[in-house]
A = this chain, B = another copy of it.
């Protein structure tokens, strides 16, 4: 063997599950030099996490593959609650929309993790040379603390080792989430055509087995699951506890006379426990079954259930008891597992803003709300563009602190929600109004409906920081972690009243608008693909009103001036829209104006490609898809407003057309001047 290979990379991602893949796709979209390694020899093929929340689908859409997930997934439309009637007989006590109408253009859907990983892998391959290096395990990680604040340094050194095929093949019990495949034939039977190349690659692992190499990285993201190796290396831990509830999970093709088996259902039996039913794609149904076993390994508090005593026969037998008098059985079992609810969150999400943890590595909770994979992917969706912009020299390292301030609060909220929802779900239903120990079905329904907004992922509201220009509210960041002081933020505060429907800190809702140039309807979010760009949306109102037209002109003149954010923070030798994209959504009748009625900065001219036709939109009625009424939906008045949207679609700033210079003030708070 020759000398150990040493290489340099901007970003090293450890773990190629959903959180790691989301990070990798961001890096691919932003053109950042990146490696991603995973100790497993292949991707996931069946079972495991599978809920796709509205916001996750919106994010996937922004990455270019939302339509694939939407098309292949099972859509869940209705949530049915079953509980005993007064005679103790199980009946449907209520039914409501599974996703509250109006929250998003997508609704909750279900698809197995293997397909979701496939979409990420395909998208990465489509737009970069980044590939997951499988059967590669990190063996050491050191940080040179002396240089962590130097943006150009590579302070992290990671040693990697190639595993043998045997080492890299999941033992199934250790794969993740306690999963155990039924048998190997089933495991392989879940392969789709897309995945055959993966399996072939597995058999080539041994060519490299045992080889070691050293990687020098600017940033490392540990997305390596609940038992995170990265977390141990950097000395962080999770805090929280477990409950006594033990749940079994079966993915089966059910044979049943239960009429709502294709609905999402919560079934509370009188005294045999509860079931959650999640209908899936390809006739599969996932059932979460509360188990009555209390056998534990060890006696101390917090000890774990003895899962060796749990098997699919036990789980289906419990299910049968809960669902009686309906029958349930199966001949096809795709996957199963058992778990004990544990709710834990990391005390810190990074060290030195150089090594970051994401996903299960910093928060664990029960899977029934379908939150785990979603929140994990959303962690790195938050982190990715920030690291990319720092690596590219566009922004200061200071914005990296907002990863922890923004995402730790979400993790804590999730734990709180999970705690409450799990207890209501696991509890015995109240027999009558006097039964104060039981769970009242009305309370459960109420919690479900309130939780609906939370679990959709669309209610996440990031606290004030350099990149969220709003008034300080320490409680908004839970533990009081303030990303940046008021000084650093230059104390720029949004004028939220100009667009009450567009909450600063939240993701921008999607409403249909029409392209001025070709009358095509677009969902606003479709105009904000995830490519690392900031968007400045100008809502000038009715530009046939001379006052508004004049204001738009002065905004355009400001944006086009030599000391505007565009000129100061965009490299002179790159494309003019490399960092900022300027969009207009006006409210004059579409047919009354053309793009030539708008300032040139919104329809830039190129000698080769002519005018840019994709920057001017209108709030008007479409021929085939109704009228979005975006001004009304966002509560924007005749006065109009300016909105700054982050690369992750969260609203940073809302301000007046009369203060276009505030946009430059905002970006000056964290961006690096490109003027030489």
Contact = CB atoms under 8 A, between A and B. Distances in A.
A619 to B, nearest CB: 16
B283 A609 contact: yes
A519 B78 contact: yes
A255 interface: yes
Interface stretch (A39-47, A94-102, A343-351, A366-374): A94-102
A557 to B, nearest CB: 22
Contact of A520 (B77, B254, B591): B77
Interface stretch (A212-220, A257-265, A302-310, A489-497): A257-265
A676 interface: no
A600 B632 CA distance: 50
Interface residues of A, number: 47
Nearest to A593: B259
A99 B594 contact: no
Nearest to A328: B610
A397 B591 CA distance: 55
Contact of A624 (B101, B256, B515, B610): B101
A59 B511 CA distance: 29
A98 B263 CA distance: 40
Interface in A405-463: none
Interface in A219-263: 253-257, 259-263
Nearest to A610: B255
Interface string A564-602: 000000000000000000000000000100111000000
A260 B71 CA distance: 34
A174 to B, nearest CB: 31
A112 to B, nearest CB: 18
Contacts of A261: 517, 613
Given A610-B255, A624-B99, A193 B126 contact: yes
A521 to B, nearest CB: 8
A331 B607 contact: yes
Given A253-B610, A624-B107, A595 B263 contact: no
Contact of A259 (B279, B594, B607): B594
A7 to B, nearest CB: 27
B623 A78 contact: yes
Contacts of A254: 610
Contact of A595 (B67, B95, B259, B518): B259
Contacts of A533: none
A518 B624 contact: no
A332 interface: yes
A496 B99 CA distance: 40
Contacts of A623: 77-78, 97-99, 101, 107
A608 interface: yes
Contact of A253 (B78, B97, B99, B609): B609
A462 to B, nearest CB: 27
A61 to B, nearest CB: 11
Interface in A628-657: none
Contacts of A520: 75, 77
Interface string A96-119: 011101000001000000000000
A521 B101 CA distance: 14
Say how many copies of this protein the assembly contains. Answer: 2
Contacts of A610: 253-256, 283
A331 to B, nearest CB: 5
A76 to B, nearest CB: 8
A331 B78 CA distance: 55
A609 B282 CA distance: 10
Contacts of A78: 518-519, 623
Nearest to A252: B610
A77 B519 contact: yes
A259 B263 CA distance: 51
A610 B255 CA distance: 4
Contacts of A283: 609-610
Interface string A486-520: 00000000000000000000000000000101111
Given A67-B71, A101-B623, A596 B263 contact: no
A75 B256 CA distance: 46
A304 to B, nearest CB: 34
Interface string A60-101: 000000010001001111100000000000000001011101
Contacts of A263: 517-519
Contacts of A77: 518-521, 622-624
B101 A517 contact: no
Given A520-B75, A623-B77, A624-B99, A608 B331 contact: yes
A591 B332 CA distance: 29
A513 to B, nearest CB: 13
Nearest to A516: B262
Contacts of A98: 623
Contacts of A262: 515, 517-518, 613
Given A193-B126, A262-B613, A623-B77, A95 B591 contact: yes
Contacts of A331: 607-608
A591 B99 CA distance: 17
A615 to B, nearest CB: 12
Nearest to A330: B610
17 contacts: A75-B518, A77-B520, A77-B624, A78-B518, A78-B519, A99-B624, A101-B623, A101-B624, A255-B607, A259-B596, A260-B594, A261-B517, A262-B517, A262-B518, A262-B613, A263-B517, A331-B608
Lowest 3 A-B CB distances belong to which pairs? Answer: A259-B594, A262-B518, A77-B519
Given A78-B518, A260-B594, 16 more contacts: A67-B67, A77-B521, A77-B623, A78-B623, A97-B624, A101-B623, A107-B624, A253-B608, A253-B610, A255-B607, A255-B609, A259-B594, A261-B517, A261-B613, A262-B613, A263-B517
